[in-house]
Chain A
Amino acid sequence: MIFKQLLSGRQFSSFILIKDNPNHSAHHLLLKIIKDNVEKKNSVHLFNYETPNLSQWEKFTSTPEFVSHSCYHDNWDLKLDGFDPKASSSWASQVSNEEGIFNVVIIDSISLALEDLSLNSVCSQLKALKALNDENHRTQVIGVINTSLTDDDTVAFKEVNRLAESLITLGNLPNSFSLTVQHRKPFGKLMDGAYTVNLDEEKGFVFSEESKTVKGSEDIKPVESSPQVLTTFKLTLDDKEKESRRQVILPYLKTSGGGGGKIIYEPDANDDWDDEDPDDDLEI
């Protein structure tokens, strides 16, 4: 169950990218991640580009493990209340580098950060955060990307996704609130799973697994490229049809099994025998 492993930290991912969409917000998933990490006494840093205030995170603000960084940028340098000064420091420089501390850095959201920062700056800052990982330090980056602002086809999404080790896509399955997880392991192995998620009054964010597969990296191909999807013809056989096919004895195999076959030709009276060499005219 890759999602559970990622949330619990059993499967470490240095950069988890959460892809939300206009009708499915990542808010409750982030609340779950923050709550779990705060309970484990991990240091959680939230870089908030979404709102000028912290009202939606207020239940964590009194927790010492939770550090919020207001990144609501003052692009026009109007020096208004609630805005972050234009030239603020980088994400990595604001994260503790003390030995033994597990840092969880949440960027909410990368799409809105891209409204203020260049793609180069965002990517280099993400790389800097990932580079904090070594034998003594663990830093996990969790970034939200809004598909309405940063489409899958954009360079920004492709570049950021390339840096991510895990991709959580929200609400991409019909009829329920669901999420899919893809985690790239070292050496290219891909683990994925689909989950249905609900909000329980007592337990909060709960999820149940729909399916799980483990594939080799060579299997990672977009489904759309398969000819099966592109045509209405049936191009494959099911197991029953394959078994029936195996039962069929092909005509040329019927005689080959007998063994010791021999061709006997009896000349007919009307046969026109010619004793001349047929290749005589070739002057070989």
Chain B
Amino acid sequence: MASFIKGLELDKEDLRGKLFALKEEAGSDDSFCLSCLMWQCLSKQDSGLLLLAAQRPFNHYYHVGMKLGYNLMSQSKRAVVLELGKAFCGGSDDELFADIGTGKDDALKGLFLGLKRRLEELKSQYRHVYFIVDNLSSLLFLGFTSGQLTTLLHYLRTLADDSVTLVISLQTTQDDEEETRLSAYLCQIADFRLTVAPLRTGSSQDVSGSIELIKKDVSKIESWTNPMLYHYKLSERNVKIFLPGNI
């Protein structure tokens, strides 16, 4: 997993107070990026993790974590996973997800305040907390509009302070206006934009897909670095990042 962080040169950055926008284009899966960031978080003893699992169940993160070398089950104190799916099958009595299926503003308000409270608890115990939302587009399917979710983002971004790294993933489909609008807003406010996409030329045995990374850089006139394009290859327990052509 270090290869992912080093390959993208994220080890040279101070990620505290930063907002990561993780875009998943149709035909690709960005969950390996989230797993790598979770590994990065849990590999340090003074870091905590708050994960809003809006798309996948806890078991997914647990099994991926075991393959990558961390155990979410045994670290439940510093790795808090909030499952949205459980709220629908009655397995969660947390007020965090109250009325979440109604598509009303009050449900999002409650969600934000609940997340804020959980984050404050972790911040009081750990020097650096990774707050990961996987993935925000899932809320579009619960009846919320992109307008409501941009308001949620408007509030969520204020949580990225000196001790918090905020990572928000979403998926984008070209023809979906709601997803496009949400993605545009997230990219506008983010400090890092990471886009995971399939290869334009079709599938390959040596390359699983491409990653484009753009970082905010106020020392440049554009305030952004030039887009850096990487290729990646996924294997059972590893992710290899390389420049196109350098397999």
Q: Mark B188-199, 1 if CB is under 8 A from A, else 0.
A: 100001000000
B76 in the interface, Cβ–Cβ < 8 Å? Answer: no
User: Are A82 and B222 within 8 A (Cβ)?
Assistant: no
**Which residues, 1 to 48 on A, are CB-close (under 8 Å) to B?**
22-25, 27-28
A56 to B222, CA, bound (A): 15
Q: In whole Å, how far is B181's beta carbon from the nearest beta carbon of chain A?
A: 8
Q: In whole Å, how far is B32's beta carbon from the nearest beta carbon of chain A?
A: 24
Q: A76-B109, A115-B150, A146-B188 are in contact. Are A25 and B222 (CB under 8 A)?
A: yes
A80 to B109, CA, bound (A): 12
A177 in the interface, Cβ–Cβ < 8 Å? Answer: yes
Which A residues are in CB contact (< 8 Å) with B113? 78
The B interface is mostly helix, strand or loop, or mixed, namely: helix
Q: Mark B10-28, 1 if CB is under 8 A from A, else 0.
A: 0000000000000000000
Which A residues are in CB contact (< 8 Å) with B222? 23-25, 171, 177
A111 to B151, CA, bound (A): 14
B178 in the interface, Cβ–Cβ < 8 Å? Answer: no
- Among A25, A148, A198, A205, the residue within 8 A (CB) of B223 is A25
Which A residues are in CB contact (< 8 Å) with B214? 23
User: Are B221 and A197 within 8 A (Cβ)?
Assistant: yes
Number of B positions contacting A (CB below 8 A): 27
A75 in the interface, Cβ–Cβ < 8 Å? Answer: yes
Which B residues are in CB contact (< 8 Å) with A78? 109, 112-113, 155
B102 in the interface, Cβ–Cβ < 8 Å? Answer: no
Which B residues are in CB contact (< 8 Å) with A82? 158
**Which residues, 100 to 131 on B, are CB-close (under 8 Å) to A?**
105, 108-109, 112-113
- Among A75, A76, A199, the residue within 8 A (CB) of B220 is A199
Q: In whole Å, how far is A35's beta carbon from the nearest beta carbon of chain B?
A: 15
B185 in the interface, Cβ–Cβ < 8 Å? Answer: yes
- Among B158, B184, B221, the residue within 8 A (CB) of A148 is B184
Which A residues are in CB contact (< 8 Å) with B193? 22
Q: Mark B214-227, 1 if CB is under 8 A from A, else 0.
A: 10001111111001
A188 in the interface, Cβ–Cβ < 8 Å? Answer: no
User: Are B223 and A52 within 8 A (Cβ)?
Assistant: no
A22 to B193, CA, bound (A): 10
Which A residues are in CB contact (< 8 Å) with B223? 24-25, 27-28
CB-based nearest A residue for B150: A115
Q: A23-B224, A199-B219 are in contact. Are A80 and B158 (CB under 8 A)?
A: yes
User: Are A149 and B218 within 8 A (Cβ)?
Assistant: no
- Among A22, A27, A148, A197, the residue within 8 A (CB) of B218 is A27
B154 in the interface, Cβ–Cβ < 8 Å? Answer: yes
User: Are A205 and B221 within 8 A (Cβ)?
Assistant: yes
A251 to B112, CA, bound (A): 86
Which B residues are in CB contact (< 8 Å) with A75? 151, 154
B87 in the interface, Cβ–Cβ < 8 Å? Answer: no
Which A residues are in CB contact (< 8 Å) with B227? 23
User: Are B185 and A24 within 8 A (Cβ)?
Assistant: no
Which B residues are in CB contact (< 8 Å) with A22? 184, 187-188, 193, 224
A28 to B223, CA, bound (A): 8
**Which residues, 118 to 171 on A, are CB-close (under 8 Å) to B?**
146, 148-149, 171
User: Are A149 and B221 within 8 A (Cβ)?
Assistant: no
Report which residue of A111, A149, A205 has the largest number of chain B beta carbons within 10 angstroms of its beta carbon: A149
**Chain A residues in the interface with B (C-beta under 8 A):** 22-25, 27-28, 52, 56, 72-73, 75-76, 78, 80, 82-83, 111-112, 115, 146, 148-149, 171, 177, 197-199, 205
Taking A25-B223, A72-B158, A78-B155 as known contacts, 14 extra A-B pairs with beta carbons closer than 8 A to each other, sorted by chain A number, are A22-B184, A22-B193, A22-B224, A23-B227, A24-B223, A52-B157, A76-B109, A80-B155, A83-B158, A115-B151, A149-B181, A149-B185, A171-B222, A199-B219
14 A–B contacts, CB within 8 A, in A order = A24-B222, A25-B222, A25-B223, A27-B218, A75-B151, A76-B105, A76-B108, A76-B109, A76-B112, A78-B155, A111-B188, A115-B185, A148-B188, A198-B221
